[in-house]
Amino acid sequence: MRTVFMGSPEFAVASLEKVHQLTDLQAVYTQPDKPRGRRGKQLEPTAVKKKALELGLPVHEPKRIRDDEVIEQLRSYEPDAIFVVAYAKLIPKVILDLPKFGCINVHPSLLPRYRGAIPLQASIFNGDTETGVCTFFMDEGYDTGDIIVMRHTHLGEEETFTQLSQRLALVGADVLGETIELLQSGEEVPRLKQPAEAEGGYTKPIKKEHLQVDWTRDSESVRNHIRGLAEVPAAASTLANGDSLKIGLATRAPEEFRGKPGEVLDIIKGRGPVVACGTGAVVLEKVKPAGKGWMDGYSLWNGKRVEKGDLLGAPQRASL
C-alpha cells in the first residue's frame, strides 16, 4: 500500500514509524522549520522531519497545503492512503479525495468528545478519568469523520500533559497499525458515524493568557490546570515582586489549609509552598522562576523567592 504521512510534533513520531514499518511510505509532509533562540537565527525542524530524514524519507514543508503545486506533487505519489497525525493544517477536499482509502487521522480523544486543537489538555483540565485514541476517515468538517478504530485507556489523576502525550503517542501508533491492517485486509473497513454535535465542545488552541493560574478557582481545578499544561508550555503565575513563575507540578494540600486565593500559607518541608485557592489549597512541588531552571518547590522557599504571606498572581503581600 502506497502512503503519504502528514504530521509535525513529537506525538506523531511513533505513528510515522508505524506507517514506515507497515506500508510503502512515499513521502512525509510537515510544518516548516521554525526560528529558535533569542535572535531567531537558528531554525528548528519538527520532530517528524528529524525522524523522516533519519529514515531516509523525502520530506516536504509547504507553507500552504492547498497550493496547486503541492496538490500535484501529492497526486504524483499516487497514495492509496494519507495518514495525518497532529499536522495542524486543515486538509482541503481535493486532497481528501485523492487517495483510494482517503485521508485518515489519529486523534487523541474519544470522539466526538474533545474535537479540535487540544484534546489531551482538555481531558486533564476537566479531571477526566478515561481518555483514548481513535482513527477516523477525514471529511471537510473538523474531526467529524466516521470512526474506524477506538481505544479506551485510563487517565491517571496525577498524570500530566507531557506524560499523557508520550503514552498516547504509543497507543495512537498501535491504533494506526490496527487501522492499516484493516485497510490491507481487503475486507470492508468498519465505519462508525459520529453525531453532529461535539461532546464537550470544540477545543481551541492555547494562548498565552490561558496559561495564567486563576487562584480563585477550587484547588482541584487549579491542580488540573497546572498538570494539563505541564511541563510545556507550563502554567504561569507571578511572585509577590512581580517576577514570573512557571509551575510544573502542584499536589493536594492537607484540608486544614485555608486562605485568600493566591496566598502563600506555609511551607511543607521537602515538598514546597502551600498556596490557597478559592476553596482548598495546593502545594507547589515543581517550579521555574524567571531566568532559572526547573527546581523543587522547597528550593524556591529556601532561596527566599517566596515567603509566607506572599500573594501569587499580584505584585503585593496578602494582608494579614
> The CATH number of the domain where 218 resides is what?
3.10.25.10
Residue 16 Cα distances to 103, 147, 248, 275, angstroms: 15, 20, 29, 43
Q: Do 23 and 159 lie in a common domain?
A: yes
Q: Do 18 and 143 lie in a common domain?
A: yes
Rg of the chain on CA atoms, in Å = 22
Q: Do 197 and 229 lie in a common domain?
A: no
Q: Give the pLDDT confidence score for residue 117 in this predicted structure.
A: 94
Per-residue pLDDT tens over the stretch 26-45: 999 999 999 886 666 789 99
Phi/psi of residue 89, nearest 5 degrees = -135, 140
Residue 17: give the domain boundaries. 2-203
What is the number of structural domains in the chain? 2
Q: Which three cell numbers stand for residue 267?
A: 511551607
Q: Give the pLDDT confidence score for residue 263 in this predicted structure.
A: 96
Of the candidates 152, 144, 137, the one whose C-alpha atom is nearest the C-alpha of residue 189 is 137
Q: Do 145 and 234 lie in a common domain?
A: no
User: How far out from the chain centre does Cα 111 lie?
Assistant: 16
User: How far out from the chain centre does Cα 309 lie?
Assistant: 35
Q: Do 296 and 212 lie in a common domain?
A: yes
Under the phi-then-psi rule, with left for phi > 0, alpha for psi from -120 to 50, and beta for the rest, what region is 313? Answer: left
Q: Give the pLDDT confidence score for residue 39 in this predicted structure.
A: 63
Enumerate the β-bridge partners of residue 310: 317
Per-residue pLDDT tens over the stretch 61-90: 999 999 999 999 999 999 999 999 999 889
Last residue of a domain, one of 203, 226, 245: 203
Q: Do 43 and 127 lie in a common domain?
A: yes
Q: How far apart are CA 280 and CA 265, in angstroms?
A: 11
Of the candidates 110, 38, 96, the one whose C-alpha atom is nearest the C-alpha of residue 65 is 96
Q: Give the pLDDT confidence score for residue 36 in this predicted structure.
A: 80
Q: Give the pLDDT confidence score for residue 303 in this predicted structure.
A: 84
Q: Do 275 and 166 lie in a common domain?
A: no
Question: Which CATH number is 137's domain given?
Answer: 3.40.50.170
Dihedral of the alpha carbons of 122, 125, 130, 133, in degrees to the nearest 10: 20
Last residue of a domain, one of 147, 173, 203: 203
Last residue of a domain, one of 154, 184, 203: 203
The pTM for the full model equals 0.93
Enumerate the β-bridge partners of residue 34: 44
Low pLDDT (below 50) residues in the chain: 315-320
Q: Do 274 and 238 lie in a common domain?
A: yes
Q: How far apart are CA 143 and CA 166, in angstroms?
A: 21
User: How far out from the chain centre does Cα 207 lie?
Assistant: 13
Listed in order, strand segments (DSSP E) in 169-263 are: 199-203, 235-238, 244-252
Q: Do 65 and 179 lie in a common domain?
A: yes
Q: Give the pLDDT confidence score for residue 319 in this predicted structure.
A: 36
Contact predicate 114/131, CB 8 Å: no
Q: Do 142 and 237 lie in a common domain?
A: no
Q: Do 168 and 287 lie in a common domain?
A: no
Q: Do 225 and 259 lie in a common domain?
A: yes
Q: Give the pLDDT confidence score for residue 316 in this predicted structure.
A: 42
